Structure 1
Amino acid sequence: MPIDAILFDKDGTLFDFANTWGGFGRSVLEKLSGGDPERVAVLGQAIGFDPVTEEYSRDSVVIAGTVDEITEALIPYFPDMARDELTDVLITESATAPQAPAVPLIPFLDGLRKAGLKLGVATNDGEVPALQHLASVGIRDHFDFVAGYDSGHGFKPGPGQLIAFASHVGVDPSRVAMVGDSLHDLQAGRAAGMTTIGVLTGLAPAEALAPMADVVLPDIGHIPAWLDAN
């Protein structure tokens, strides 16, 4: 099937995961712990993050989880803090995190739009921080659709966001490609009946993505050549 629309995950796909969220993880845990190194280490272990190396484990809840799921992992360590308060801290801090584009995004997205493709973003991040991240690198207006876990369509690996995008742009799901760096992204794509493209700018290796991907590429910059060849 020809591809008429592309839906991108955000973290690890449009933006390089390690270069964006490594330093952020340490800074937000230091803020939550009042700078206590031992408490930072404990909180890091709860979310699969090493604050010394600034690296996430491959099963870290931060990689593909929602803010609510990250809150769920951390809230036992904050008995005097309301769940909503902790969630608000995480959302506020993440919204201002500097983003590291996986490729030069403006020319890349300009090229896709000039080719007539409809574009969207489906992320398990919140919608507000997602919009801020896109705007911070000048690409908000390149997308026809942006959905977070809290936009009313559910979250990945469920297909709700993906079906909503296809409906919004008027393209049959079979003519949409879902692009992501995690199994959650690709499982959602398969459930929606879309072509699935894995990329290696997250933390998952190619062999982990391959069973759910129609193709695994080094990064999103390889998509135009792959589309041309297929």
Structure 2
Amino acid sequence: MTKRVTSGPIGAVLFDKDGTLFDFGATWNVWAGEVLRELAEGDAAVLQALAGAAHYDLVASEFLPESPIIAGTNREAAACLAVALPKRSVEEIERHLMLTSSVAPLVPVVPLVALLASMAAGGLKLGVMTNDTEYGALSHLGQAGVAELFDFVAGFDSGHGAKPAPGPLLAFARAVGVAPERCVMVGDSTHDLVAGRAAGMRCVGVLTGPAGTEALEVLADVVLPDIGHLPKWIESLS
């Protein structure tokens, strides 16, 4: 039987999506390689230009750590790729990214249903804030069977802004009726943690995205291997 997590001093947990709920490399490195080839339409020179703009290694099939797409919004990713696709509008590329990413093969970092159901049963309010689109977020959470476990889901296009600004995190706190200081922001990137600090929340870094411990620990209250370790940490604060 899964032990229920009591809320203690923490009343709400806001998760990033990609690299936090879903393993970044196993999910998005694979998707990106396929999408860049689709956009290149068989033109090797265009494919190389797209990979260069995205900071994507075509041989290793992975994003380089400095890629602006890793933590950027869907719009920012489209604008980045548009440099190599002068005949296509940013809006057209953005829609292509939204639709293809919404059906990407997801790899959860842990069994999500059991973990999130336990946290919700313990009284914690749960949310997701991603720099992906809201459409993509709802699609992915639905595919994973956990959409109904969240009290709040927002993308960069939901009207609250995007990380690293604190606006969407504060919107979550208001929506669930929990003061920011009793909320936890959980993410795999510095964007997540910068936003969490600015919102006055506790911050947890996880190592299921491209960023390593050294990059996250300067902003986080704790850095965990993955979100499966989160309940024990929350319990330790009680």
Q: When the two structures are superposed, what TM-score results if normalisation uses the length of structure 2?
A: 0.94
Q: In the alignment, what sits opposite 2:105?
A: 98
Question: Cα deviation per residue 1:71-124 (whole Å; 9 max; x = unaligned)?
Answer: 111112222212211111111111110110010000000110111000000000
- 5+ residue gaps, structure 2, are 1-7
Corresponding residue pairs, total:
230
One-letter amino acid matched to 1:195? R
Judge conservation of contact 1:40–1:51 (CA < 8 Å) in 2: no
1:142 aligns to 2:130 (yes or no): no
1:161 aligns to 2:168 (yes or no): yes
- Quote the offset at 1:220 in angstroms: 0.2
Q: Matches of 2:16 and 2:42 in 1, distance apart?
A: 32
1:10 aligns to 2:22 (yes or no): no
Q: In the alignment, what sits opposite 2:198?
A: 191
Q: Matches of 2:31 and 2:46 in 1, distance apart?
A: 16
Q: In the alignment, what sits opposite 1:128?
A: 135
One-letter amino acid matched to 1:142? L
One-letter amino acid matched to 1:181? D
Q: In the alignment, what sits opposite 2:5?
A: none
SS of the residue 1:12 aligns to: coil
Q: In the alignment, what sits opposite 1:210?
A: 217
Q: 2:37 aligns with which of 30, 36, 48?
A: 30
Q: In the alignment, what sits opposite 2:4?
A: none
Q: In the alignment, what sits opposite 1:19?
A: 26
Judge conservation of contact 1:173–1:194 (CA < 8 Å) in 2: yes
- Quote the offset at 1:227 in angstroms: 1.1
- Point out the more displaced range, 59-68 or 114-123: 59-68
- 5+ residue gaps, structure 1, are none
One-letter amino acid matched to 1:179? V
1:67 aligns to 2:61 (yes or no): no
Question: Cα deviation per residue 1:113-152 (whole Å; 9 max; x = unaligned)?
Answer: 1110000000000000110011011010010000000000
Q: Matches of 2:33 and 2:205 in 1, distance apart?
A: 27
- Quote the offset at 1:166 in angstroms: 0.3
CA-atom RMSD, angstroms? 1.0
1:228 aligns to 2:235 (yes or no): yes
One-letter amino acid matched to 1:160? G
Q: When the two structures are superposed, what TM-score results if normalisation uses the length of structure 1?
A: 0.98
One-letter amino acid matched to 2:31? F
Q: Matches of 2:236 and 2:143 in 1, distance apart?
A: 33
- Quote the offset at 1:43 in angstroms: 0.7
Q: Matches of 1:101 and 1:36 in 2, distance apart?
A: 33
SS of the residue 1:69 aligns to: helix
One-letter amino acid matched to 2:217? A
